[in-house]
Amino acid sequence: MKKQFLILIIPFLSFGQQINTENIFYDGHNREYIIYIPQAYSSLNPEPILFAFHGGSGYADDFMNYEADFRSIADTAGFILVYPQALEDPNDGNSTNWLHKEPTDHKDIFFVEALIDTIASSYNVDINRIYACGYSLGGMFSYELACQLNNRITSIASVAGAAFLGAFSSCELTHPTSVLSISGTNDDIHPYNDLNGWYFPVAEINNYWANSNNTDLTPIVEELPDVNTNDGSTVERYSWINGDGCVSVEELKIINGGHDWPSPLSSWGNQDINANVEVWNFVSKFNMNGLIGCNTTNYLEINHIPLKNLIATVDLYGRETANNNGFQLHIYDDGSVEKKYLIK
């Protein structure tokens, strides 16, 4: 049942008047979220939203600052960035969780729906491009959103996030729904192939979404460059393509990877890919109808049409650069981002 809520706004930090901690009073609780408005935002143009959900026992500000900092991408690609904060779970030692343990009537699905409505009342939002991503429990919650708030959520990405057995029994899909998972084969928190009967194996998660979207049965497999040979892991990309509305389902399989948010800036975990870049590059291709630009041609044909122009080159800290060596992020006018490693 949907519940009434009251909006409160509290300034958090002035970053060109772009970042705030805001609150809505919802379901008897003062709920907090961080919102980042890109530099080029204009009320004349509808912008997508990307929700980023922290892991269990986590905090929105830490997640933004130390793991999933999408702010430089938001500035160049043009989207509204939101980091909600989970409530403490009294049945789990008061840890901050998106999925509270039973017995509970707490359900954050409706909180997110209220957030979408609240943000759309203050900003010009492209309601056909509402994306969600999350780490660990936040990734699990992203699957829940794709199932139970499918009429509002366009596409999701789950990083080191599992899915409880039975999680998809409540799915009510209303549109082609693209899904990206980034999973480590040595994840000791959410096992890649769970043998304890708690979670779906990653392969079954992929199969569910591939079957639901009527993609090709056999994925395209690509071995990605082992950019950092000292991180103890490599990456393979699995792509199930040609789904309804040209949507795809993808997995970035981190061979020997653990329970982490991959980043070249990290001092641990996989450093061959940047999860921030991978997440945005994937979800931003889709709207509620499927792949943006999908007509009658297939996924591969569409994705090889050169319709984008380079608008900025930044280093891994988000600073514009003209250097011709080292790591760079190339940002294009269609909102996509490509990671480059140049050797002079």
d(CA 41, CA 47) in angstroms, rounded, equals 8
Structure tokens at 241: 């393509």
Q: Between residues 311 and 100, which one has the greater pLDDT? A: 100
d(CA 78, CA 280) in angstroms, rounded, equals 11
CA-nearest of 152, 69, 61, 135 to 98 is 135
List, for residues 273-282, the tens digit of each pLDDT value. Answer: 999 999 999 9
List, for residues 16-51, the tens digit of each pLDDT value. Answer: 349 999 999 998 999 999 999 999 999 999 999 999
List, for residues 281-312, the tens digit of each pLDDT value. Answer: 999 999 999 999 997 454 444 443 344 556 67
List, for residues 133-150, the tens digit of each pLDDT value. Answer: 999 999 999 999 999 999
Query: Residue 332 pLDDT > 90, yes or no?
Result: no
What pLDDT is attached to residue 306? 40
> What percentage of the chain carries pLDDT values higher than 90?
74
| Neighbouring C-beta atoms of residue 90, cutoff 10 Å | 12
What pLDDT is attached to residue 90? 85
List, for residues 48-94, the tens digit of each pLDDT value. Answer: 999 999 999 999 999 999 999 999 999 999 999 999 999 999 887 88
CA distances (Å), 20 to each of 70, 122, 165, in order? 15, 13, 37
Q: Which domains does the chain have, with CATH numbers?
A: 5-305 (3.40.50.1820), 309-344 (no CATH)
d(CA 83, CA 64) in angstroms, rounded, equals 7
Question: Torsion-angle region of residue 220: left (phi > 0), alpha (psi -120 to 50) or beta?
Answer: beta
Beta bridge partners, 253, equal 183, 236
DSSP character string of 196-248? SSSB--HHHHHHHHHHHTT--SS-EEEEPP---TTSS-EEEEEEE---GGG--
